[in-house]
Amino acid sequence: MEKTHADASPLRLHELSLEQLPSDTRRVLEGIDRVLVYSIPMRVRFRGIDVREGLLFHGEEGWGECAPFWDYDPQESAVWLASALEAARIASPRPRRSRVPLNVTIPVIAADAARQRILDAPQWMSAKVKVADARSDLERDCRRVEAVAEALAERHGASARVRVDANGAWDRESALTWIARLNRAAGAVGGLEYVEQPCMAVEDLAWVRRKQDVPIAADESIRRAEDPLKVARLEAADVAVIKVAPLGGGRAVSRLVEELPMPVVISSALETSFGLDYAARVACALDQEPRACGLGTVNLLAADTALTPALIDGGCMIPSELSLNEALVSKAPIDSSLIQSWAERLTEMAHYHEKKRHVPITSSSARHH
Single out the residue of 82, 89, 85, 67 nearest to residue 342, CA to CA. Answer: 67
Domain-located, residue 356? yes
Q: Same domain, yes or no, for 221 and 353? A: no
Q: Same domain, yes or no, for 126 and 191? A: yes
Mean pLDDT over each residue of the chain, to the nearest integer: 91
Residue 259 CB neighbours (<10 A): 9
Residue 130 annotated among the catalytic residues of the structure = yes
Q: Same domain, yes or no, for 18 and 162? A: no
Could you give the CA distance from residue 307 to residue 93 in angstroms, rounded to a whole number? 24
Q: Report pTM.
A: 0.91
The two beta strands, 100-106 and 316-318, are: antiparallel
The CATH number of whichever domain residue 29 belongs to comes to 3.30.390.10
Q: pLDDT band at 3, cuts 50/70/90?
A: low
Q: Same domain, yes or no, for 297 and 333? A: no
Mean pLDDT of 57-86: 97
| Long-range contacts from 177-185, C-beta under 8 angstroms, 24+ separation | 177/138, 178/131, 178/132, 178/138, 178/141, 179/208, 179/212, 179/214, 180/212, 181/138, 181/142, 182/131, 182/141, 182/142, 182/145, 183/214, 184/142, 185/141, 185/142, 185/143, 185/145, 185/146, 185/149
Given 130, 230, 331, 355, the catalytic residue: 130
Mean pLDDT of 58-84: 96
Domain-located, residue 350? yes
Q: Tally the domains of the chain.
A: 2
Domain-located, residue 5? no
Q: Same domain, yes or no, for 189 and 241? A: yes
Question: What residues contact residue 73 under an 8 Å CB cut-off, 6+ apart?
Answer: none
Q: Same domain, yes or no, for 339 and 301? A: no
Instruction: Provide the pLDDT for residue 4.
Output: 52
Residue range 195-207, pLDDT digits in tens = 999 999 999 999 9
pLDDT at 34 over 70: yes
Residue range 330-359, pLDDT digits in tens = 766 678 899 999 999 999 999 999 987 544
Percent over 70 (pLDDT), the chain: 93
Domain-located, residue 48? yes
Domain-located, residue 148? yes
Residue 187 CB neighbours (<10 A): 15
Range of the domain at 347: 12-92+326-366
Residue range 271-309, pLDDT digits in tens = 999 999 999 999 999 999 889 999 999 999 999 999 999
Q: Same domain, yes or no, for 182 and 288? A: yes
Do 45 and 72 touch, CB atoms closer than 8 A?
no
Given 3, 211, 243, 331, the catalytic residue: 243
What is the sign of the dihedral through the CA atoms of 211, 214, 218 and 219? negative
Domain-located, residue 348? yes
Could you give the CA distance from residue 312 to residue 323 in angstroms, rounded to a whole number? 16
The two beta strands, 264-267 and 239-243, are: parallel
Residue 243 annotated among the catalytic residues of the structure = yes
Residue range 95-151, pLDDT digits in tens = 999 999 999 999 999 999 999 999 988 888 999 999 998 888 999 999 999 999 999
Q: Which helix (H) or strand (E) holds 263?
A: none
Q: Same domain, yes or no, for 80 and 109? A: no
Domain-located, residue 4? no
